[in-house]
């Protein structure tokens, strides 16, 4: 699936109901908590994608029992973590940043590596934090080797998490298993994607862990038990956005069933963003329904807390009537690729007018033409190209296979939405 994919062009307004798979963020957090729990857990409707399969495989390599239930659930039986083990992180930030704090509880050597681009993603913050808490680690980025001692003293650690909220979440998820728990203090520019940390804290509390997040930029996890439980995984709201965007750019109507009334997912902001672009958005018993306008409006938006939505918003901005400015997302230069540079390059490649800024990008209206859209091995870049291809004939995405990171069969879902056989 890494070959050229011709993005289908819609022959009219898109009308569809599109069930989306479970949340990657919730699935991988639940897997870590289940592996560290005192008893068995079950994950119902988990996402089965490359990132979550990598997380499950890594935990199995460390001694956790994970089996598939008849309904597609994951049944998790925790065991004491052990090495020697090899962990393939792929391009999954949740694996490379959530697993080392858990693997520090193992006895034995654990080697971490991943895809080529994963080796340049920032890792020093989490590795140095673990060293400060008592871990023995060789290396500053992937690949690195953790020499597990069977536990960590834990305690207080100060980090700069301005590059990724995952640094905080990774430490919190395993902190209850450290002898002294963990207190994480952030010292630096504002932490991006704070809703992801709120998700982590909420899930820890659901598992019976005592967490104090009452002070800004400080999180305290008390040492103690992590309860095994049933986790019911919400639909991935960020992955829903490309399908809702299909309604926005074609003047159609798309419904995502099972949309939660309240959520800690950053993708919960999708409705508000699409409304600001001129869409009609309704949340009711059917789910979240988006009806597209005749023409999209430009918008000025700070996406610091919802930065994973940036590629989709940029694609919509490239098709809007007015100028759009996306701010607060400087940290996405360190994601699967430099997403700011990639978005500007690809919008301009198709004849658009996009410009990098210090913390984001500006997109001005200009007619687009067909051509190749490069994905840079980045799932959200690939889906952005698919959105533009709905209304711009002749767009091809060079690596649609990158979407398997979080959506098992994006091309199939896209074709079904469009009624293409």
Please give the DSSP secondary-structure letter assigned to residue 385: H
Instruction: Check the annotation: does 189 bind a ligand.
Output: no
**End-to-end CA separation in angstroms for the chain:** 18
Instruction: Check the annotation: does 346 bind a ligand.
Output: no
3-state secondary structure of 37: coil
Give me the catalytic one of 306, 308, 336, 346: 308
Identify whether 179 is a catalytic site residue: no
| Residue 174 Cα to chain centre, angstroms | 19
Instruction: Check the annotation: does 49 bind a ligand.
Output: no
Instruction: Check the annotation: does 327 bind a ligand.
Output: no
Instruction: Check the annotation: does 405 bind a ligand.
Output: yes
Instruction: Check the annotation: does 25 bind a ligand.
Output: yes
Instruction: Check the annotation: does 41 bind a ligand.
Output: no
Q: Is residue 194 exposed (0-12), middle (13-18) or buried (19+ Cβ within 10 Å)?
A: middle
d(CA 56, CA 165): 21
Instruction: Check the annotation: does 169 bind a ligand.
Output: no
Closest CA to 315 of 378, 256, 263, 257: 378
d(CA 279, CA 260): 20
- Contact yes or no for 164/199 (Cβ under 8 A): no
Instruction: Check the annotation: does 372 bind a ligand.
Output: no
How many Cβ atoms sit within 10 Å of the Cβ of residue 10?
A: 18
Closest CA to 251 of 15, 419, 17: 15
* Secondary structure, 3-state, 202-267: HHHHHCCCCEECCCCCEEEECCCCCCCCEEECCECHHHHHHHHHHHHHHCCEEEECCCCCCCCCHH
Instruction: Check the annotation: does 174 bind a ligand.
Output: no
Sign of CA dihedral 128, 191, 334, 50: positive
Q: Is residue 70 exposed (0-12), middle (13-18) or buried (19+ Cβ within 10 Å)?
A: exposed
CA distance to 63, 81, 129, per residue, from 103 (Å): 10, 7, 14
Closest CA to 89 of 136, 138, 132, 143: 143
Instruction: Check the annotation: does 93 bind a ligand.
Output: yes
| Residue 293 Cα to chain centre, angstroms | 28
Closest CA to 96 of 84, 108, 111: 111
Instruction: Check the annotation: does 149 bind a ligand.
Output: no
For the record, the structure tokens of 107 come out as 């006895």
- Binding-site residue ranges for phosphoenolpyruvate: 24, 93, 121, 166, 339, 380, 405
Binding site as annotated, residues for 3-phosphoshikimate: 24-25, 29, 164-166, 193, 308, 335
By annotation, the residues acting in catalysis are 308
């Amino acid at each position: 699936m890494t070959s050229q994919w011709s993005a289908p062009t819609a022959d009219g307004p898109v009308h569809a109901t599109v069930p989306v798979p479970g949340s990657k963020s919730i699935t991988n957090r639940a897997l870590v908590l289940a592996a560290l729990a005192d008893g068995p857990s079950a994950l119902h409707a988990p996402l089965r994608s490359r990132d979550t399969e990598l997380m499950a495989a890594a935990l199995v390599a460390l001694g956790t029992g994970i089996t598939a239930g008849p309904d597609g659930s994951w049944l998790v039986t925790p065991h004491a973590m052990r090495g020697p083990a090899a962990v393939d992180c792929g391009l999954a930030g949740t694996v490379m940043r959530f697993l080392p704090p858990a693997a520090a509880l193992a006895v034995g050597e654990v080697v971490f590596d991943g895809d080529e681009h994963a080796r340049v993603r920032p890792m020093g913050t989490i590795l140095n934090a673990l060293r400060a808490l008592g871990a023995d680690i060789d290396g500053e980025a992937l690949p690195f080797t953790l020499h597990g001692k069977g536990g960590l003293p834990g305690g207080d650690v100060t980090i700069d998490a301005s590059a990724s909220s995952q640094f905080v979440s990774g430490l919190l998820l395993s902190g209850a298993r450290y002898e002294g728990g963990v207190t994480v203090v952030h010292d630096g520019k504002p932490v991006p994607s704070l809703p992801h940390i709120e998700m982590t804290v909420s899930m820890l509390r659901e598992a019976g862990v005592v967490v104090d997040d009452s002070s800004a930029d400080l999180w305290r996890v008390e040492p103690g038990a992590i309860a095994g439980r049933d986790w019911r995984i919400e639909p991935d709201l960020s992955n829903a956005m490309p399908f809702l965007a299909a309604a926005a750019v074609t003047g159609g109507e798309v419904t995502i069933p099972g949309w939660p009334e309240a959520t800690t997912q950053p993708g919960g902001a999708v409705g508000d963003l699409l409304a600001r672009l001129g869409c009609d958005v309704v949340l009711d018993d059917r789910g979240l329904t988006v009806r597209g306008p005749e023409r999209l409006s430009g918008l000025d938006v700070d996406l610091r807390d919802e930065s994973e939505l940036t590629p989709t918003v940029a694609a919509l901005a490239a098709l809007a009537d007015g100028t759009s400015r996306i701010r607060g997302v400087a940290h996405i230069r360190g994601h699967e690729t430099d997403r700011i540079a990639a978005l500007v390059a690809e919008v301009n490649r198709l004849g658009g007018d996009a410009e990098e800024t210090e913390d984001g990008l500006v997109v001005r209206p200009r007619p687009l033409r067909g051509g190749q859209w490069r994905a840079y091995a980045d799932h959200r870049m690939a889906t952005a190209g698919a959105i533009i291809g709905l209304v711009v004939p002749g767009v091809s995405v060079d690596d649609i296979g990158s979407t398997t990171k979080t959506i098992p069969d994006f091309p199939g879902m896209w074709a079904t939405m469009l009624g293409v056989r």
